[in-house]
């Protein structure tokens, strides 16, 4: 890297950041930590963690970054409530409920299906945060999309000023929050003297990945994205991510188009489905926990790590020397359900005699 490039990049960062409204909810930057013991066991690859799980607000996670931008817009529009949705164990909905509480807004959470018997994990937190619930009664996850509009329309009829946030927080405004994450990591890498060549990310609804793509293109960084889908098929995700990145670029008044080829995604590590822990994820979670004391989650980061470890074993990443895994959060999932998925291979118990 040369000084001119750094100067050019800091100009871009300043110009673009000034275009992005943000109501900051946490302390930044989040830590960038070298995985010492893991790196030792991986051979030629140095692994680092970007700890967005430690975002210091509402139990953290990547969703806070998107919400900081959406909240700024919601407040500018004089909204009095946030309406969003997903499944009951959604990190995004919990983060939205915390955001609304902080700003003194109401929050309505639209969930697919029917109310579950157990009030645990993120669902319990979202309830405690005083979000109002609306269940679609339909097990199709997409039912949330139409119901968010319906709930918002009803609230408007009642004289409220709702701000709608699409399912999972995947919208162009939210994407801009993740562009700021790229700027943050770039500056942090500079000050810590880290030169990564690849970034690993778990992908759900795609807003986060879209922000990373746009941020990397804005700064012209030599960072390759290694992304693992945890819900939809890779082709579908790539299209969605490209579309979101294009829309977000337009918000920055850039006539840039992203296409599916710009947003490659690895498949094959979803297991039985979104939100269902896989054996590989459980193993990856144990390996990282036991070597680093870092807790990945079973829905997103555990599956991405399983995919990455598999790729390493199969020599897919020989060209990469320094890789940063973005830990996007999700730990409340440890406190949902009975945790049987973690006990697939119990550790030895201590014998005292
Ligand atoms: C939502 C989420 C992701 C993925 O973010 P998207 O923008 O939906 O792709 C990754 N990790 C965790 C823990 C999440 O909650």
pLDDT at 1: 54
- The domain spans of the chain are 3-60+171-334, 64-169
* Tally of residues, the chain: 353
Q: Indicate which residue's Cα is closest to atom 11 of ligand 1.
A: 328
Q: Is 343 exposed, middle or buried (0-12, 13-18, 19+ CB in 10 A)?
A: exposed
Predicted confidence at residue 42, as pLDDT, reads 87
| DSSP track, 91-132 | HHHHHHHHHHHHHT-EEEEEESSS--S---HHHHHHHHTTPE
* 61 ligand 1 Cβ < 6 A: yes
Of the candidates 90, 143, 231, 238, the residue annotated as catalytic is 90
Q: Ligand 1 pocket test: pick from 85, 202, 277 the residue with the most ligand atoms within 8 Å of its Cβ.
A: 202
Cα distance between residue 332 and residue 150, in whole Å: 29
Could you tell me the distance, in angstroms and rounded to a whole number, from the CA of residue 61 to the centre of ligand 1?
8
Q: Quick check: CB of 204 below 6 Å from ligand 1?
A: yes
Domains 3-60+171-334 and 64-169 are alike in CATH topology: yes
| Ordered strands of the 198-203 beta sheet | 32-34, 46-51, 322-327, 198-203, 224-229
Provide the edge-to-edge strand list for the sheet that holds 81-86. 132-135, 106-111, 81-86, 162-164
Cβ–Cβ under 8 Å, residues 111 and 133 = yes
Pairing of strands 322-327, 46-51: parallel
**For the chain, first and last CA: distance in Å?**
60
Fold exhibited by the domain 3-60+171-334: Rossmann fold (3.40.50)
CATH architecture of 64-169: 3-Layer(aba) Sandwich (3.40)
Q: Please confirm, yes or no, whether 191 is among the known catalytic residues.
A: no
Residue 178 CA to ligand 1 centre (angstroms): 11
Q: What are the structure tokens assigned to 136, written together?
A: 């679609």
Q: How much is the pTM?
A: 0.96
Q: What is the pLDDT along the chain (353 residues), one digit of tens a residue?
A: 578 899 899 999 999 999 999 999 999 999 999 999 999 998 889 999 999 999 999 999 999 999 999 999 999 999 999 999 999 999 999 999 999 999 999 999 999 999 999 999 999 999 999 999 999 999 999 999 999 999 999 999 999 999 999 999 999 999 999 999 999 999 999 999 999 999 999 999 999 999 999 999 999 999 999 999 999 999 999 999 999 999 999 999 999 999 999 999 999 999 999 999 999 999 999 999 999 999 999 999 999 999 999 999 999 999 999 999 999 999 999 999 998 999 865 555 565 65
Spacing, Cα 275 to ligand 1 middle (Å): 12
């Amino acid at each position: 890297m040369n000084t001119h490039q750094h100067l050019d990049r800091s100009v871009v960062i300043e110009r673009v950041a000034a275009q992005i409204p943000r109501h900051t909810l946490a302390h930044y930057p989040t830590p960038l930590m070298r995985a010492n013991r893991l790196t030792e066991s991986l051979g030629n690859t140095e692994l680092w963690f970007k700890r967005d799980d430690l975002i210091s607000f509402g139990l953290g996670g990547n969703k806070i970054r998107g919400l900081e931008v959406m909240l700024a817009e919601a407040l500018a529009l004089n909204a009095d409530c946030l309406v969003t949705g997903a499944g009951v164990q959604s990190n995004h909905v919990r983060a939205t409920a915390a955001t609304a509480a902080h700003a003194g807004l109401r929050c309505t959470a639209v969930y697919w299906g029917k109310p579950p018997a157990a009030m645990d994990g993120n669902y319990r937190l979202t309830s405690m945060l005083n979000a109002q619930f609306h269940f679609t009664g339909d097990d199709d996850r997409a039912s949330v999309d139409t119901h968010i509009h319906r709930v918002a329309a009803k609230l408007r009829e009642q004289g409220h000023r709702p701000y709608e946030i699409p399912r999972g927080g995947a919208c162009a405004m939210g994407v801009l929050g993740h562009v700021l994450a790229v700027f943050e990591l770039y500056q942090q890498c500079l000050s810590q003297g880290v030169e990564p060549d690849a970034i690993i990310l778990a992908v759900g609804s795609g807003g986060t990945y879209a922000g990373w793509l746009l941020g990397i293109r804005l700064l012209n960084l030599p960072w390759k994205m290694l992304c693992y889908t945890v819900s939809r098929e890779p082709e579908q995700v790539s299209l969605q991510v490209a579309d979101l990145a294009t829309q977000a670029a337009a918000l920055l008044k850039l006539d840039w188009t992203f296409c599916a080829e710009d947003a490659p995604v690895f498949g094959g590590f979803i297991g039985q489905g979104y939100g269902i822990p896989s054996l590989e994820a459980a193993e990856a979670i144990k390996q990282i926990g036991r070597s680093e004391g870092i807790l990945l989650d079973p829905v997103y980061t555990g599956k991405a790590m399983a995919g990455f470890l598999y790729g390493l074993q199969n020599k897919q990443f020989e060209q990469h020397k320094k890789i940063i895994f973005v830990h996007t959060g999700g730990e409340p999932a440890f406190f949902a359900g009975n945790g049987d998925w973690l006990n697939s291979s119990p550790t030895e118990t201590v014998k005292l005699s």
